[in-house]
């Protein structure tokens, strides 16, 4: 595959520690547990890894369950890092809410990771609603060609007219260039050099952009032009309009396509393969069994609201594209 050819041509240090970041709260601990089972099982055994869990609220039982996964793997270690809730610049505004229905500080944590962990020049960030059937070291070894981040283009947005308009007219991107921030290969050194967090906070506080996907839209707009686009196998997402890709290396159950909520989700067999070995298996099954028709109706309503907001955003007074065209610096 393309990614292997790139790896062969890229000089990497076999002894280099590979840092892998997750940001969660207690609600997503069961799914991170499943994700880590898959990641550890498929990672190359001749490499060293450090899993860093940045959390807002994560109780002792959940921390212990997650930590237990690495006890019998000498090439893995795990660290838990509490992120203070008082990021005063980020407030519970409607435009900063994820999926249009709730606000969580954890979606912004990834932006501050380079400054929180200055000892790393390169790292991986992954959402917790994933499984990793591939060798994560292959992703880390990808040559970024001095770009800020390595990402996968989000092909699903091209299927929705409202989202197409949002990407081009609101964010100022070329159609097809929008990426999902649930998987980021981060050039930590360069992200510090360009002052990612400082620029993000400046834009957030000055403009309060009405975002469809808060941190994701900021990252798309700020990093545009300095992005390494990766093979789709590294962020395969369920898409009812397209067949499953072969041999996915990271599967991301994005938005409402959760196999622990719905039946007949693409790539669901991968999830349940690892979930069956999780201490949370019964809890996950019970959650799915209790997921009501009303909750499913609400999910559909929220999705339609997301499309509606995306379709009308370009008509608002302040957008990334309008601010960029005014002469303000958006790109890093």
Output the pLDDT for position 316: 93
- Concatenated DSSP letters for 175-242? TT--EEEEEEEE-HHHHHHTTHHHHHHHHHHHH----SSHHHHHHHHHHTTSEEE--GGGGB---TTS
Average pLDDT of span 278-307: 96
Which position has the token pair 């300095």? 226
State residue 156's pLDDT score. Answer: 80
57: tokens are: 């609220």
Q: What pLDDT was estimated at residue 2?
A: 42
Predicted pLDDT at 31: 98
With beta carbons less than 8 A apart as the criterion, state whether 172 and 213 touch. Answer: no
Mean pLDDT to the nearest integer, 59-75: 97
2-325 — its CATH code?
3.90.550.10
Residue 10 clears pLDDT 70, i.e. is over it: no
Give the single-character DSSP code of 102: B
Residue 94, pLDDT score: 41
pLDDT at residue number 88: 40
What is the distance between the alpha carbons of residues 178 and 181, in angstroms, rounded to a whole number? Answer: 10
Mean pLDDT, to the nearest integer, of 60-84?
94
Give yes or no for residue 42 having a pLDDT over 60. yes
pLDDT at 99: 41
Confidence of residue 86 (pLDDT cuts 50, 70, 90): very low
Question: How far, in Å, are 152, 215, 294, 315, 326 from residue 318 at the CA level?
Answer: 27, 17, 35, 9, 11
- For residue range 12-36, what is the model confidence (pLDDT) as tens digits? 677 899 999 998 889 999 999 999 9
In angstroms, the CA 255 to CA 263 distance is 15
Residue 101 three-state SS: coil
Q: Which segments within the chain are labelled E, that is strand?
A: 17-24, 48-55, 76-82, 123-126, 130-131, 149-153, 179-186, 227-229, 251-252
Averaged pLDDT for residues 67-85: 90
- Dihedral sign from CA coordinates of 226, 232, 235, 241: positive
3-class secondary-structure state, position 35 = helix
The region of weakest confidence among 31-40, 97-106, 151-160, 222-231 is 97-106
329 vs 93, higher pLDDT: 329
Mean pLDDT for the chain?
A: 89
State how far the Cα of 236 lies from the Cα of 127, in Å rounded to an integer. Answer: 13
**Range 315-327 average pLDDT:** 96
Is the pLDDT at 8 greater than 80? The verdict is no
pLDDT per residue as tens digits for the range 249-269: 999 999 899 999 999 999 999
Q: Enumerate residues 6+ apart whose C-beta is below 8 A from 330.
A: 172, 203, 221, 222, 320, 323, 324
Q: What pLDDT shows up at residue 234?
A: 98
Listed as own residue / partner, the contacts of 94-97 with beta carbons closer than 8 Å and 24 or more positions apart are 94/210, 95/208, 95/209, 95/210, 95/211, 95/214, 96/208, 96/211, 96/214, 97/214
Question: How far apart, in whole angstroms, are the C-alpha atoms of residue 230 and residue 316?
Answer: 33
pLDDT at 186 over 80: yes
Q: Is the pLDDT of residue 103 over 60?
A: no
pLDDT of residue 105: 54
pLDDT of 85 = 44
Distance CA 207, CA 213 (A): 16
């Amino acid at each position: 595959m393309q990614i292997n050819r790139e790896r062969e041509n890229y000089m990497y240090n076999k002894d280099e520690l590979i840092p892998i970041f997750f940001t969660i709260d207690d609600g997503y601990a069961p799914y991170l547990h499943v994700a880590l089972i898959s990641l550890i099982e498929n990672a190359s055994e001749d490499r060293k890894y450090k899993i860093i869990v940045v959390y807002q609220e994560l109780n002792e039982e959940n921390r212990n369950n997650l930590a237990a996964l690495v006890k019998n793997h000498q090439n893995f270690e795990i660290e838990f890092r509490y992120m203070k809730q008082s990021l005063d610049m980020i407030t519970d505004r409607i435009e900063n809410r994820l999926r249009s229905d709730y606000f969580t500080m954890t979606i912004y944590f990834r932006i501050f990771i380079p400054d929180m962990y200055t000892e790393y020049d390169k790292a991986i960030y992954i959402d917790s609603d994933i499984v990793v059937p591939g060798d994560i070291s292959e992703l880390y070894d990808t040559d970024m060609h001095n770009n800020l981040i390595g990402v996968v283009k989000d092909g699903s947005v091209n299927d929705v007219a409202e989202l197409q308009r949002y990407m081009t007219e609101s964010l100022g991107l070329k159609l097809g260039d929008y990426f999902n921030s649930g998987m980021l290969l981060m050039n930590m050194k360069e992200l510090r050099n360009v002052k990612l967090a400082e620029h993000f906070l400046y834009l957030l506080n000055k403009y309060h952009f009405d975002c469809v996907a808060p941190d994701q839209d900021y990252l798309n707009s700020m990093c545009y032009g300095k992005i390494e686009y990766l093979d789709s196998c590294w962020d395969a997402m369920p898409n009812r309009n397209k067949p499953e890709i072969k041999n996915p290396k990271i599967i991301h159950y994005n938005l409402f396509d959760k196999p622990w909520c719905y039946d007949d989700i693409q790539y669901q067999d991968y999830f349940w393969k690892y979930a069956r070995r999780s201490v949370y298996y019964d809890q996950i099954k019970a959650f799915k069994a209790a997921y009501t028709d009303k909750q499913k109706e609400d999910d559909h309503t929220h999705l339609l609201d997301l499309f509606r907001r995306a379709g009308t955003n370009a008509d608002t007074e302040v957008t990334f594209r309008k601010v960029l065209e005014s002469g303000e610096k958006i790109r890093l």
